[in-house]
Amino acid sequence: MSQQEYPCEQCGASLTFTPGTDALHCEYCGHDTPIEQELVAIEELDYDAMIAALESETSTYEVLTVKCTSCGAQSTYDENIMADKCPFCGTAIVTSGQSQRLIQPKSLLPFNIKRSEAIKGFKTWVVGLWFAPNELKEKNNLDDRLQGIYIPHWTYDSDTITHYRGERGEHYWVTRTVNGERKRERRTRWYSASGVVQDRFNDVLVRASNSLPNKQADKLEPWNLHKLVPYKDDYLSGFKAETYQIGLKQGFHTAKKIMEPTIDHTICRDIGGDEQRINSKSTVYNDITFKHILLPVWISSYTYKEKVYRFLVNAQTGEVQGERPWSFWKIFFAVLAGLALAGVIYAVVMATQQS
């Protein structure tokens, strides 16, 4: 993670970005410094050209990265910081690592949800958990563990051309006599099918981090990417930014998997009929472009019975997701209560039938 600092022009204290605004705020004297807005379009970059640039080390910058030995989060720190805690799992980190060349982010979504709103969301989420241990609900104070972090993502655009072979199924009905009773049964005739289909994909989003629990992080979507702004260090003031762990090529392999269901749907629509089978397909990806973007997340971890659980808030929309422990005894007694209720209902039904 990298964290930028800017001095207040009035008192010299550090300024921080205020979520939901376009200004840096001084907590000491209250002065606000507007972030200079640049009328720059959010550009799509040529995928093949960037792959070539990576090999020649152009269009990149060099950073010292540190990897958490506990959760695997890959971060960058300022040179004067010798030790810190990993914001993803709370493990202590000594800042020794290796130098890497990385693609610079060109745009980001600024924080929109304030820290106080994220904490309120966490407390509401905890209260609403079914079968959560009482200790968790009593100890739902995040203190200083809640941190604002920009998570790296890739977006990909691509035109696709897919050659396929498959089968078209058409339903028909037959009448059979079974045990003297006539019944109608549905059957399917299958015919060979082949063809070529095209699709256009825009902003296929791929998270470039392995640091967050996939199940919860996926549920933070959707993100309103129409509100992306050109990257400026000012937006990182008071926050951290994770470096990507999933590279441009690896990210596109994931993007292909995300595109596949849409391609299959297009093929099935092209085959027609009542049912479809896809036996083989071959896809060519053309005019591939990408963006390296940063998306804002409030993140915290809490420990329950020596196990770390992580809590996430989409800092653009306020969507709350998190890992949670379960109370064995609450589930056990709920099952017993359910069985007892079922027994009472059964007894009442039987008594009614006998009367």
Q: What is the pLDDT of residues 279-297, one digit of tens each?
A: 999 999 999 999 999 999 9
* Whether the Cβ atoms of residue 264 and residue 274 lie closer than 8 Å to each other: no
Helices 248-271 and 47-56 sit at what angle, rounded to 10 degrees?
Answer: 160
Better-predicted residue by pLDDT, 337 or 23: 23
Q: Give me the residue spans of the domains in the chain.
A: 6-171+185-324
For residue 267, pLDDT over 70 is answered with yes
For residue 198, pLDDT over 50 is answered with yes
For residue 140, pLDDT over 60 is answered with no
Phi, psi (5° rounding) for residue 275?
A: -140, 160
Residues in the chain: 355
Q: Which two tokens stand for residue 196?
A: 């070529």
Most confident of 144-153, 277-286, 324-333: 277-286
For residue 326, pLDDT over 50 is answered with no
Better-predicted residue by pLDDT, 186 or 45: 186
Q: What is the pLDDT of residue 229?
A: 93
**Comparing C-alpha atoms, which of 272, 140, 166, 152 is closest to residue 209?**
152
